[in-house]
Each structure stands twice: as structure tokens, then as C-alpha cells.
Amino acid sequence: MAKALIHEKEDNVGVLISDTKQGEEVEVFYIADKNPLTKVVSQDSIPLGHKIALRDIKQGEEVIKYGRIIGVATKDIKRGEHVHTHNLRSKRWSFPLRR
């Protein structure tokens, strides 16, 4: 089974610590105590180090990692999908600047 880490319990994405195939089950561990928290089925083949959605995230919703906002979903993301530049953008340095 593939493994992923989450930094904080409110995070809606995890980090894969092994390459993961589409359809593979991923066990998600909490980084602080190494305990398993949940399992998710990967909807994509996702490389080590890349992010996986731990729940459905709607377009325009904030993506949370380290318990903090790391950007905004640019399309609806389903639980288990790969989260990266194709569906997540910075709130700070996207062009045009949003502030």
C-alpha cells in the first residue's frame, strides 16, 4: 500500500512518500506522531512528493497544508486526485496579481 503524510490534521492535501498508481489505496499518516489517520484511493498515478486530495475540494476553495493556505483550487478536485499546478494556484503570486 502507498503512503502519504499530512502536516496538520486540518490539511485537505497529503504528500505521497512513494510513487502511487491509479486505483492504489494510500494510507495517510500524521507526521507529528506517525500514526495512521485515514485511507484514500488514488484517482491518478502520482509521483513521490506530490500532493493527493484527502477530500473533495471545490473550485475557488482554499487548499490547506501545514494548517495554512497554500493557494486556491482552480477547478473541482475529487478526493484522491493529484493536486498540482493544473488545479491549484498561488493566492500571492499568480498573474494577474489578485490583491
Determine the interface stretch with other proteins among 37-45, 53-61, 91-99 (rule: CB under 8 A): 91-99
Return the CA Rg of the chain: 13
Q: SS3 string of the chain?
A: CEEEEECCCCCCEEEECCCECCCCEEEEEECCCCCEEEEEECCCCECCCCEEECCCECCCCEEEECCEEEEEECCCECCCCEECCCCEECCCCCCCCCC
79 binds other proteins (CB under 8 A): no
The CB-of-97 to other proteins minimum distance in angstroms stands at 6
The CB-of-23 to other proteins minimum distance in angstroms stands at 20
- Closest CB to other proteins among 58 and 95? 95
Site for other proteins in 33-72 (CB under 8 A): 34, 47-51, 65-66, 68-71
Determine the interface stretch with other proteins among 28-36, 37-45, 53-61 (rule: CB under 8 A): 28-36
